[in-house]
Chains A and B, each alone.
Chain A
């Protein structure tokens, strides 16, 4: 009788044990997970691109319509360009030649300082000075073209990283004699005849940090002429009557002068 009771007790204990094991197996089935991993590597490489027509050049036409009165027969074209850069950047402009030379008569030369330029910002990066994205040296002024490398656009406190939507510009030319407030360059003694004048320049895009690369346009440089006249000398030799420039036809100019006399 005692054996029977003992056996009954044992079977109850073992049954409980199996039940626990079953429950454990069951619950672990719900929590079952399996993990694998995939490795990713992303390389952000440096991009520094100046988008501009590689054949750009400065071309304008002049015609002496009267003593010391010159007519601009062709104004130099404005130049659109944009910058795409993953780093802060700066842009400089340098004349590749100290003179514009006549197409028909290459002996006719006009110093490059005769022409000024300014850059209009068309992108979304602000060019409102050193506290904005871009510091634009030509923001409120016109700078003479020069053989000296002149940084005209540079990053401000905010960076100027970005693509064409952020860094899009237009380079506009202006004859320095058009505005009396500007530093006038007299050319009356150059005895210019009617001609088209051509010159080239470099746009140099550089990363702002010291080890940055740079891009020069145009790639092919032209040999500078052996002689170079200091623009100040030209000013000293100038006629007391400053030359003027007009883009109006000669007949219209004369008619206006008659009207003024009347």
Chain B
């Protein structure tokens, strides 16, 4: 009995010693992937078109300039564009906004026909800008990615009567009174990037 008692005490002692020798801590990691949707203009935010010869009034300006943009998105996205009519500050004269056209080039990893799609990828297929938003670039496959993936050049054209642009020359619109007078006209186009 005495021996049994000794063994019990020894066991309890060993067990308690073992308990004191163990220490376990838990570190919890939480990774949060929040949604990112950035549209950046990297160049050409201000554009000027000058009509000063009969040829330009008759045929328009093929290359007004270009705007370079990038998108950073954690989800698929689409890009829409709209603008109000050009207005002259001094008078109520306007230039219908569909005289302004745009077509786009993909300069990043994502290319048209693969990750992205657009109906307006050449001068001849330029989109005539309208007051209501129109889809310019859409996802074809997965188009989420970084700025290196989603880089584009928007090429602006004016008065060239291409595709869905105004079918009359600027000269003809001056003659028929749609454009009431010559002068300096301005507008601001909105590019809207939307997560899908």
Contact = CB atoms under 8 A, between A and B. Distances in A.
Given A163-B57, A163-B171, A36 B191 contact: yes
Contact of B158 (A32, A35, A42): A42
Contacts of A32: 35, 37, 194-195
B105 to A, nearest CB: 16
B163 interface: no
Residue among A37, A43, A159, A164 with max Cβ neighbours from chain B (10 Å): A43
Given A30-B195, A41-B49, A46 B75 contact: no
A47 B57 contact: yes
B114 interface: no
Q: How large is the interface on B (under 10, 10 to 19, 20 to 34, 35 or more residues)?
A: 35 or more
Interface stretch (B14-22, B39-47, B120-128): B39-47
18 contacts: A30-B195, A32-B37, A32-B195, A36-B191, A37-B190, A38-B154, A39-B45, A39-B46, A41-B49, A41-B185, A42-B158, A43-B52, A43-B183, A44-B181, A45-B51, A47-B54, A84-B54, A163-B54
Nearest to A37: B188
B47 A34 contact: no
Contacts of B116: none
A40 interface: yes
B44 A42 contact: no
Contacts of A166: 175
A54 B104 CA distance: 45
A41 B39 contact: no
Interface residues of A, number: 29
Interface of A: 29-30, 32-47, 49, 84, 86-87, 125, 159, 161-164, 166
A152 B164 CA distance: 41
Contacts of B10: none
A43 to B, nearest CB: 5
Contacts, number: 134
Contacts of B83: 40
Interface in B38-82: 38-41, 44-54, 57-58, 67, 69, 75
Nearest to B129: A40
A161 B175 contact: yes
B184 interface: yes
Nearest to A86: B182
B193 A34 contact: yes
Contacts of A41: 46-49, 184-186
A262 B190 CA distance: 90
B190 A34 contact: no
The 5 closest A-B pairs by CB, nearest first: A44-B182, A84-B54, A45-B52, A32-B195, A34-B39
A37 B192 CA distance: 9
A53 to B, nearest CB: 17
B67 A38 contact: yes
Interface string B123-145: 00000000000000000000000
